[in-house]
Amino acid sequence: MKIMSINAGSSSLKFSLFNMETEEVIATGLFERIGIEGSCYTIKYNGEKHKGESEMKDHTAAVDLLLEKLHELHIVESLDEIGGVGHRIVNGKDLFDRSVVVDDEVMKKLESIIELAPLHNGANVSGIKAFQKILPNVPMIAVFDTAFHQTMDEESYMYAVPYEWYTKYGIRKYGAHGTSHRYITERVEEIYNRKDLKLISCHIGSGASLAAIKDGKCVDTSMGFTPLAGIMMGTRSGDVDPSIIPFVMKKEGKTIDDIINDLNKHSGLLGLSEISSDMRDIEAACEEGNQKAILAFNKFNRRIADYIAQYYVLLGGVNAIVFTAGIGEKGPKTRSEVCKRLECLGVKINEEENNKREDFMKISTEDSKIDVYVIATDEELMIARDTYELIK
């Protein structure tokens, strides 16, 4: 059976097509600038890239073009070969603790919580509707970034704010990157051949979050009500004193939306370094002795180590720390600096192993008290697996 994983953005649509008998990736692609002048697409298939430009006024047009290209390139001979479509949903509130088949009731719930992640959830819903319109007889599956974190207890997910904010408006920690953290959890369970493990999963990319995991279940995670909380990221501030917001509003004459935009898009590595949100640019500037870049680099690594140390105490010890996602998988300097800050916990890494570029590596030494791994995450595969299982 062929299953498609979909990640719809406000003006983009990313897809992966899997053969679920082997879990092999058949094709991947990205459709960009949907609803904007200059719409274009890239499809990777059979070792080749197929690029083109075509007007896509909305997500339905993008899906129509995608399916047309799948047939035209002989990736599928018939649309009947597509057995199901799994859709990434950023925030499922506390309404969904697992992936679900999309029906009318699920769609009503999804539309009711768009405001919790308006830039993402609205686009995710648009993606589902587009596929439903063109493939009405194919099952649609919703896979939630927040579902894995629904095992957190009240101590972890509640904020110390008026309780009625929670009962009235659902103000609580939801987390993010749950599909990635779940993938890492399952991979580590395979490595150890057991589930009774204490694990810290570090999804470190442009957006970044950590999760404390015990016996296969999330105990706590760094992102909060929105993906703005937690460690500093490429352009996001992470945790800050909320009193900063009204203070800067008065000083700069900005609105609340302006400040939230600054915290989301002009902070983090970009804000501190005033150079770039890309860690590769930061590291290059550090080599040149740029003090702001050095500050940003050190602060970034410190915040990761801070959360690992916090979760070490919360879990009462740790079997393994795993680095994943863009920087986690491809940033040996970040991994090295974070682990140096954890030496008091008995963490030791082999720098020769750490400097390799592989999808799976154990980088800790034999005498390290905590195992440290680098594991390439695969959220698309997790979406496809959930879709396949629900369809079966």
Chain segment 245-284, per-residue pLDDT in tens: 999 999 999 999 999 999 988 999 999 999 999 999 999 9
In a shared domain, residues 223 and 355: yes
In a shared domain, residues 252 and 340: yes
Residue 201, pLDDT above cutoff 80: yes
In a shared domain, residues 122 and 232: no
Q: Look at residue 134 in the predicted model and tell me its pLDDT.
A: 85
Whether 111 maps to a domain, the answer reads: yes
**pLDDT tens digit string along 304-334?**
999 999 999 999 999 999 999 989 999 999 9
**pLDDT tens digit string along 292-301?**
999 999 999 9
In a shared domain, residues 341 and 276: yes
- Structural domain of 355: 193-379
Q: What is the mean pLDDT of residues 208-231?
A: 95
Residue 343, pLDDT above cutoff 80: yes
In a shared domain, residues 335 and 216: yes
**pLDDT tens digit string along 368-390?**
999 999 999 999 999 999 999 99
Q: Alpha helix (H) ranges present in 142-228?
A: 154-157, 163-169, 178-192
CATH number of the domain at 351, please.
3.30.420.40
Q: Look at residue 12 in the predicted model and tell me its pLDDT.
A: 82
Q: Look at residue 345 in the predicted model and tell me its pLDDT.
A: 96
CA-based diameter of the chain, in Å?
Answer: 61
Q: What is the mean pLDDT of residues 211-223?
A: 97
Say which of 80, 103, 145, 196 is annotated catalytic. 145
Whether 389 maps to a domain, the answer reads: no
Q: Look at residue 90 in the predicted model and tell me its pLDDT.
A: 86
In a shared domain, residues 361 and 235: yes
Whether 160 maps to a domain, the answer reads: no
**pLDDT tens digit string along 10-69?**
778 899 999 999 999 999 999 988 888 888 999 999 999 999 998 888 888 888 999 999
What length is written for the chain? 392
Tell me how many domains the chain contains.
Answer: 2
Query: In the listed set 144, 160, 180, which residue is the last one of a domain according to the structure?
Result: 144
Q: Look at residue 123 in the predicted model and tell me its pLDDT.
A: 80
In a shared domain, residues 229 and 375: yes
- The secondary structure element, H or E, covering residue 43 is strand 40-45
In a shared domain, residues 96 and 213: no
Whether 385 maps to a domain, the answer reads: no
Q: Look at residue 259 in the predicted model and tell me its pLDDT.
A: 94
Residue 92, pLDDT above cutoff 80: yes
Whether 71 maps to a domain, the answer reads: yes
Whether 384 maps to a domain, the answer reads: no
In a shared domain, residues 209 and 320: yes
Q: Look at residue 114 in the predicted model and tell me its pLDDT.
A: 83
Active site residue 278: no
Whether 156 maps to a domain, the answer reads: no
Q: State the pTM of this model.
A: 0.91
**pLDDT tens digit string along 103-155?**
999 999 998 888 877 767 888 888 898 889 888 999 999 999 999 999 999 99
Whether 165 maps to a domain, the answer reads: no
In a shared domain, residues 138 and 198: no
Query: In the listed set 144, 160, 182, which residue is the last one of a domain according to the structure?
Result: 144
In a shared domain, residues 243 and 345: yes
pLDDT band at 175 (very low <50, low <70, confident <90, very high): very high
In a shared domain, residues 117 and 39: yes
